[in-house]
Amino acid sequence: MLQLVIGILILSAIGALLALLLEIANFYIADYGESHILINDEKDVVVEGGNPLLFSLMGEGIYIPSACGGKGTCSLCKVKVLEGGGPVLPTETPYLDRSELEGMVRLSCQVKVRNDLKIEVPEEIFLIKEFEVETMGLSDLTPDIRELCLKILAPEEGIRFKPGQYIQLEVPKYKGTKSPEYRAYSVSSSAEDRQAIELVITRVPEGAVTTYVHEHLKKGDQLLMTGPYGDFFLRESERDILFIATGSGLAPIKSILHQMEFRKTERKATLFFGDRRRYDLYYLEELKAFEESIPGFTFVPTLSRATEEDQWEGEKGRVTDLIEKHVPENASLDVYICGSPAMVDSCEEILEKKGIAIENIYYDKFE
């Protein structure tokens, strides 16, 4: 038995070594030359072979959504590869369901351009642009969350986005990284201002981009970003609205509230905004002020670990407790949830049990 286990271990080690050698050889020796990528049967771009499809397209000014910087963990970079993509990799299969596999959907960060490709992308991808921005302001909203104001330097006409959408911010290479890195951040400010945007960024320990923003970025620094991306935006309907946010998940919802204020929307809307302690909550005055400027809006903050020190007289418990307590069974609601994947999943589960129609629940998971 022991000999069998040792044999398997040796074989696995040899396999891993061969795979590593192949990758190294691929990197140093392989020369794929130029490849053509035919997009949507009409646009033909010529790229240097050997790079991931995601980055080859980016080099041509075609920005596919991606939140993880091409690490194969966010699954946002899906495109249809109709010809030339090679076999689906084990790194892709966990993120592709059966209908996507049958429909030739691939993770563009995992498909290497080794020959000519034929691909299909949604037309709105061509509206995504690159922007040069300047850091106008940085302020700490909580011990972990920093507000970042960015002025658009170019293109001159600024940015047009739907409130709730996100951009991808690139930070340069620094001590903690091997190359420039980019990540997704939802715009928290009003879409009426096309010359500047605000982001709220939670520090992630050892996180490439958040460490840069929290520890190295200075006023006046210039950065690149692309956008807008995403389908987390307000849908027109007659139903009441429930917004649910924790941490920096408030960002896209705040932008939607600015839109409702601007349009004087009369739909009944409630925001559950939760965190642990009083010092974790932010923008409380601005959110309270929306109750005056948006007819029908109610703001309900909640703390899950309030102590006497917090002198908190508001709701106590998690946002999920607020759903249990305040959302009636079978309510006719559009629900917009934003925050950590665990929080979004828990809310969705409780809402479904309460009979809220799943097709009326929209969310952005921040990881």
- Which residues sit at the interface with ligand FAD, rule CB under 6 A? 67, 74, 166, 181, 183-186, 199-202, 204, 206-210, 230, 248, 251, 364, 366-367
Name the residue nearer to ligand FAD (CB basis): 248 or 302.
248
Name the residue nearer to ligand FAD (CB basis): 131 or 366.
366
Q: Which does 113 bind (CB under 5 to 8 A by kind): ligand FES, ligand FAD, none?
A: none
Task: List the 361-365 sheet strands across, edge first.
Answer: 315-316, 297-303, 269-275, 240-246, 333-339, 361-365
Q: Which does 337 bind (CB under 5 to 8 A by kind): ligand FES, ligand FAD, none?
A: none
Q: Which does 37 bind (CB under 5 to 8 A by kind): ligand FES, ligand FAD, none?
A: none
How many angstroms separate the CA atoms of 197 and 181, rounded?
20
Instruction: Render 188-257 in DSSP notation, one character per residue.
Output: -S-TT-SSEEEEEEE--TT-HHHHIIIII--TT-EEEEEEEE-S-SPPP-SSEEEEEEEGGGHHHHHHHH
Least CB distance to ligand FAD at residue 362 (A): 12
Q: Which does 66 bind (CB under 5 to 8 A by kind): ligand FES, ligand FAD, none?
A: ligand FES
Name the residue nearer to ligand FES (CB basis): 109 or 319.
109
Q: Which does 273 bind (CB under 5 to 8 A by kind): ligand FES, ligand FAD, none?
A: none
Least CB distance to ligand FAD at residue 311 (A): 28
Please name the helix (run of DSSP H) or strand (run of DSSP E) that holds residue 81, with its range, or none: strand 78-83
Please name the helix (run of DSSP H) or strand (run of DSSP E) that holds residue 11, with its range, or none: helix 2-28
Least CB distance to ligand FAD at residue 231 (A): 10
Name the residue nearer to ligand FAD (CB basis): 170 or 240.
170
How many angstroms separate the CA atoms of 186 and 254, rounded?
10
Name the residue nearer to ligand FAD (CB basis): 206 or 329.
206
Interface residues with ligand FES (CB under 6 A) are 54, 66-68, 70, 72-77, 107, 109
Q: Which does 344 bind (CB under 5 to 8 A by kind): ligand FAD, ligand FES, none?
A: none
With b for 16 or more beta-carbon neighbours within 10 A and e for fewer, the 166-195 pattern comes to bbbbbbeeeeeeeebbbbbbbbbbbbeeee
Cα-flanking dihedrals φ and ψ of residue 351, to 5°? Answer: -65, -40
> Which two tokens mark 154?
């170019």
